[in-house]
Amino acid sequence: MRRMLFVVVFLLPLMAVGQQVKIPKDANRFTYWQLEYGEKTDTTVITVERVGDVITILTPKPHGELIQGYCQTVTAVDYAADSITVSATYPDSSYYYRTPFSRDDIEWKREGAKYTCSINSNTLVFEMDERAPVSANPLPYYGLNRGVLRTFTRNGQLRLKLAKAERVKEVKSGKEKAESGRRVSPRELDRIMKERLVVTTRIFDHEQICWGKENAHISRGDDKYAFSNIPYDTVLHFAGGTLILKRVQLPALPSHYQHFVELHQQSNGDAYDRTGSVFMVTPTFFEGINQHPDSLPVFVGRDEQRYQGMMAMGDYEPPIELVRFFTPFGVGHFNERMKDYGIDWRKETYYRQEITDIYRKGDVVIGAWIGNYDAGGHLLTMDIKSFPNDYSGSMSLPTSTIMPLFNTCNVLEMAGQNYGKLFATDSLTVTFTLPADAAARLRYISTGHGGWGEGDEFVPKANTILIDGKPVFTHTPWRQDCGCYRDLNPVSGNFWNGLSSSDFSRSGWCPGTATQPVYFDLSPWADGREHTLTVAIPQGKPVEGMFSHWAVSGAVIYNSRF
């Protein structure tokens, strides 16, 4: 897990183990090292300053350009009034909260100068110097208000240590500053501070994805279609209304941010589990969206069928899939119909998936598709949320390159794009070239379909990845936890034995879930030469008009090692 750290260098001696800092009787400034790995790695300095019965707890403001939403807080502890006041000041407003200092909800075990408690399965140990002539504690929320904190340990690891206690001339109380602004609860202030750090880009807002809407068309004066003519922040409907897209500006952020797609979906009339996909539209794929799938490069299989726009060919790039998701059976629209079934149905499906490695800043076109022929269809809300892991706003940080190779998820299904049935008679083969010594990996998403007993939806099938004709990776997409999502499926088929259709294990998906990508290391083939990549799947044979197919997408993500 990434840690939010700032290294701040001060010319202060780090005290050795067992060495005690002398505390003058008139000390009014206490400096603490905040430690991450015992006493070897110092990260942040915390300063406690004292005026009378009030201490002010200060953390240094990071240097340089800072991220949006950063706020430096002031914490004032009034020993006489038994209160803690925390304030956060923003350019547009100020907030603060006040809470009692004493805590009677913590059970303490005392051994000499050490106080031990357990909170949320964590063992906390505070070493207090109660013989000190003054009191100071940079962690006042636990209610220890007598003496000076010397060390704080969590789960056996030293996290905080007193490094210096001194008398200085210029010390001001932070009490008045900490009481300015609008008063809120501690949890509300915590929520405000976190929300202001998160960068949210709304993509779709309660947008209907259904069958029967008129297709949008973007054209220039000469009536030729143009990717560059897509208007910003306008939702366009294609493929009879089952595919929507929007051109947006994704914010340029430092590479320490983590990016997540958040989807909210509910039925607006469609009762079935459907395949859905969120993707970045490439300029060459847009021609097939705006005209017809037959305008895209075509692969003709041994089965003599045409497969449009599924592989990188020449200058053509398939769509870059961000999230593959599956709607459940009718959540939202059909809840009332099944309200007496004994299950508390959820109101909507919520998907949240990280896309940090495939996030792209700037001018992008985002598409969303749910395959259905229902006039009501589905309602979809989508945000991209970006969370910082550092306070630095520096943009001089490296980014990776994305190379889309294939995508057989037929998001233009309702416009005539074929299903990914080619694996029955062919394998999928593309070429790629990586810069020498690049760090590269294939981001691969695979789900099997064929909705009868022996269809590929319900039979595990190994996906084999071959490089230059040699098998190097194998992945069998399979989900056995579909029964966990029963409360998302009010109109799933139910059987005599008590099982529901939504309970059954499936090839990489469940009704109401998102499919997680898997990764394969391609760095051994980063040598500046052209290589072939092949996907081979033992697809099942059709039965009485029913057929199996596979929705697989793959993009190479790479960056220089140097």
Digit-coded pLDDT (tens) for 483-537: 999 999 999 988 888 899 999 999 999 999 999 999 999 999 999 999 999 999 9
DSSP 509: -
Whether residue 281 is predicted with pLDDT greater than 50 in this model: the reply is yes
Q: Letter for the amino acid at 267?
A: S
Average pLDDT of 254-274?
96
Please provide the average confidence, as pLDDT, over all residues in the chain: 91
- Whether the CA torsion 400, 404, 405, 410 is positive or negative: it is positive
Report the pLDDT value the prediction gives residue 61, as an integer from 0 to 100. 82
- Radius of gyration (C-alpha) of the chain in whole angstroms: 29
Taken in order of first residue, the domains within the chain and their CATH numbers are 29-194 (2.50.20), 198-560 (2.60.120.230)
Q: Residue 245's closest CA among 212, 284, 290?
A: 290
| Chain centre to alpha carbon of residue 187 | 23
Q: With 0.85 as the threshold, say if the pTM is over it.
A: yes
523-543: string of b/e by CB count within 10 Å (b at 16+)?
eebbeeeebebbbbbebbeee
Total length of the chain: 562
- Partners of 199 in the beta sheet? 386
Place of tokens 């119909």: 337
Report the pLDDT value the prediction gives residue 524, as an integer from 0 to 100. 97
- Partners of 52 in the beta sheet? none
Q: How far apart, in whole angstroms, are the C-alpha atoms of residue 460 and residue 448?
A: 8
- Partners of 30 in the beta sheet? 48, 165
Whether residue 6 is predicted with pLDDT greater than 60 in this model: the reply is no
Report the pLDDT value the prediction gives residue 13, as an integer from 0 to 100. 43
Angle at 318 between CA 281 and CA 365, to 5 degrees: 5
**Range scoring the smallest mean pLDDT among 25-39, 140-154, 206-220, 484-498:** 25-39
Whether residue 2 is predicted with pLDDT greater than 50 in this model: the reply is no
Digit-coded pLDDT (tens) for 45-88: 899 999 988 999 988 888 888 999 999 888 999 998 899 999 99
Whether residue 39 is predicted with pLDDT greater than 60 in this model: the reply is no
Give the three-state DSSP class for 308. strand
Q: How far apart, in whole angstroms, are the C-alpha atoms of residue 225 and residue 311?
A: 22
Give the three-state DSSP class for 456. coil
Sheet containing 54-58: order of strands: 109-111, 114-119, 122-129, 148-154, 157-166, 29-37, 41-51, 54-58, 73-78, 83-89, 94-100, 182-183
Q: How far apart, in whole angstroms, are the C-alpha atoms of residue 557 and residue 441?
A: 6
